[in-house]
């Protein structure tokens, strides 16, 4: 029994770090808090990313960011001091465009102005689906009603939601996220949205495929217990939550999702991972 117990211990946090081959990080709430201008880097996070890059672990960034193109928000992170490149970052919009092409769909877009460039090459005439992202101020009654009108007029309405978050943290407080408006359109049209982004297993799998790794070899670190940690765990990964970003103390008593570990911030998580790998 004792041998079995030591094996079990090696699979828990932080002992599981010994056998890891890759780490996936969320961006907003883990690396930085968004807000005015470029937002604010979370203390110690830029150095933590640098340490991971210098280790033998593969690193990717998996985000539901939909207020800017990939190039724009990677540029913002670089200005905040992060060593990060576009090819390492997986947001929902490029994944959504691949689905549109595959299924011959033409979208009506209810997204942030900053994201429109991503959809430049996409046929949007005579739409046969709706894509909703974190549109922020664009979530007006008029714009929501337009999206509703497109959906309700289709024989087979298709709604894609780029993520399904309830809220996120900016420097001046919590903000409603896309999931709230997704639910409104689901209710109005009596349909179920297809989520592209976290916690969709397909989305996580695309990142694992890029790394060439199996789920049990990878750890996800995020501030969103349900979409980051829970989504990763459902795919067979370990999930660790940081007490930064949108973290709430009640997350540690959540009825259905239990993080493999909870840490104060990314810097602490990375130090724990790397110290395990030295032993």
- Reported as a single tens digit per residue, the pLDDT across 26-77 is 999 999 999 889 999 999 999 999 999 999 999 999 999 999 999 999 999 9
Asked whether the predicted pLDDT for residue 115 surpasses 60, the reply is: yes
Mean pLDDT of 77-85: 97
Query: 141 and 230 in one domain?
Result: no
CB atoms within 10 A of CB 179: 22
Q: Which of 264, 224, 252, 259 is nearest to 238 (CA)?
A: 259
On whether residue 73 sits in a domain, the answer given is no
Is the pLDDT higher at 2 or at 148? Answer: 148
Q: What is the pLDDT of residue 10?
A: 57
What pLDDT score does 11 carry? 80
152 in a structural domain: yes
- pLDDT in the model for residue 7: 40
Q: Which of 176, 195, 214 is the last residue of a domain?
A: 195
CA angle 204, 209, 213 (to 5 degrees): 95
Is a pLDDT exceeding 80 seen at residue 124?
yes
pTM of the prediction? 0.92
* Residue 279 pLDDT level (bands cut at 50, 70, 90): confident
Number of separate domains in the chain: 2
- What is residue 136's predicted lDDT score, i.e. its pLDDT? 95
**Residue 97 belongs to domain spanning:** 93-195
């Amino acid at each position: 029994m004792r041998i079995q117990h030591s094996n079990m211990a090696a699979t828990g946090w932080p002992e599981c770090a010994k056998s890891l081959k890759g780490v996936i990080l969320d961006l907003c709430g883990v690396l930085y808090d968004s807000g005015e201008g470029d937002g604010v880097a979370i203390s110690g996070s830029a150095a933590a990313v640098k340490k991971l890059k210098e280790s033998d672990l593969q690193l990717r960034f998996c985000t539901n960011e939909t207020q800017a193109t990939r190039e724009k928000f990677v540029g913002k992170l670089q200005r905040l001091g992060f060593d990060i490149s576009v090819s390492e970052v997986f947001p929902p919009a490029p994944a959504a465009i691949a689905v549109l092409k595959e299924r011959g769909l033409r979208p009506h877009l209810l997204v942030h102005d900053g994201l429109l460039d991503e959809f430049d090459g996409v046929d949007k005439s005579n739409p046969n689906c709706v894509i909703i992202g974190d549109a922020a101020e664009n979530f007006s009654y008029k714009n929501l009603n337009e999206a509703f009108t497109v959906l309700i007029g289709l024989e087979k309405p298709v709604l894609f939601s780029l993520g399904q978050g309830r809220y996120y943290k900016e420097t001046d407080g919590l903000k409603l996220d896309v999931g709230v408006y997704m639910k409104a359109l689901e209710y109005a049209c009596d349909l179920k949205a297809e989520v592209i982004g976290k916690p969709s297993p397909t989305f996580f799998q695309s990142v694992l495929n890029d790394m060439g790794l199996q789920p049990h070899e990878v750890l996800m670190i995020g501030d969103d217990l349900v979409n980051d940690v829970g989504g990763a765990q459902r795919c067979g990964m370990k999930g660790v939550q940081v007490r930064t970003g949108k973290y709430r103390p009640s997350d540690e008593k959540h009825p259905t999702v239990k993080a493999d570990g909870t840490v104060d911030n990314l810097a602490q998580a990375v130090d724990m991972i790397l110290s395990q790998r030295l032993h």
